[in-house]
């Protein structure tokens, strides 16, 4: 009987440890993905002049702009925020 309880307790400790490892791995994966997204955004070239786009925040909206003025690029959440602010001004 005591051996059986000991085995169940050992199994519970293993389960808790596995859950902690999974949580750590998910957090680490999220951090790595965010880091990769930032690096990718920093290395996007302008399709017109081929220079690296520069990050810029205008009116609270983050975007990437061409250093030679060829244009600006927004991700989907930034575009949605821009459209919402435009609608509220009308």
In this predicted model, what pLDDT tens digit does every residue of 56-71 receive, in sequence order?
888 888 888 999 998 8
pTM reported for the whole predicted model: 0.47
Residue spans per domain, the chain: 1-43, 45-90
- Judge contact between 46 and 66, C-beta under 8 A: yes
> Quick check: 74 and 61 in contact, CB under 8 A?
yes
Strand partners, 58: 61
pLDDT mean across residues, the chain: 84
Predicted confidence band of residue 1 (pLDDT cuts 50, 70, 90)? low
Dmax over Cα atoms in the chain, in whole Å? 78
pLDDT of residue 42: 61
Q: Which three-class secondary structure state does DSSP give residue 66? A: coil
The 10s digit of each residue's pLDDT in 17-36 is 999 999 999 999 999 888 87
């Amino acid at each position: 009987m005591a051996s059986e309880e000991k085995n169940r307790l050992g199994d519970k400790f293993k389960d808790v440890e596995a859950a902690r490892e999974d949580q750590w791995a998910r957090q680490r994966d999220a951090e790595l993905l965010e880091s990769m997204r930032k690096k990718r955004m920093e290395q996007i070239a302008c399709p017109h002049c081929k220079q690296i786009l520069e990050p810029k925040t205008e009116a609270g909206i983050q975007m990437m702009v061409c250093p030679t003025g060829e244009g600006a690029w927004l991700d989907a959440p930034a575009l949605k925020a821009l459209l919402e602010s435009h609608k509220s001004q009308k």
